[in-house]
């Protein structure tokens, strides 16, 4: 018998993110699509509220399957994430 699947949700300034489904919902109740990198960065920020994250921490958060990520790629991912929020 399987247990119930637990949804882990986080809320911030009217936004809601479901960590299991990777779904972000705006204060206007609209789903906002995120790339894997954007999702990883957003969750890194949510795990460290009111803290400044170093470039190295952001690089580590945005890595996919231990692929090499370049410094500039952080800015490339943060700019569209900021626009979406």
Q: What does the pLDDT look like over 4-55, one tens digit per residue?
A: 555 588 889 999 999 999 999 999 999 999 998 899 999 999 999 999 999 8
| pLDDT at residue 22, rounded to an integer | 92
- Give the separation between CA 14 and CA 81, rounded to whole angstroms: 16
3-state secondary structure string across the chain:
CCCCCCCCEEEECCEEEECCCCEEECCCCCEECCCHHHHHHHHHHHHCCCCCCCHHHHHHHHCCCCCCCCHHHHHHHHHHHHHHC
Model's pTM, two decimal places? 0.75
- Give the separation between CA 22 and CA 16, rounded to whole angstroms: 10
Map out the domains of the chain with their CATH numbers: 9-84 (1.10.10.10)
Give the mean pLDDT of 44-70. Answer: 79
């Amino acid at each position: 018998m399987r247990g119930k699947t637990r949804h882990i949700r986080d809320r911030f300034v009217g936004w809601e993110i479901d960590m299991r489904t990777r779904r972000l919902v705006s204060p206007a109740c609209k789903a906002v699509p995120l790339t894997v990198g954007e999702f990883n960065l957003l969750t890194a920020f949510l795990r460290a509220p009111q803290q400044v994250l170093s470039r190295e921490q952001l690089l580590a958060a945005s890595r996919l399957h231990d692929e090499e990520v370049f410094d500039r790629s952080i800015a490339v991912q943060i700019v569209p994430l900021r626009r979406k929020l």
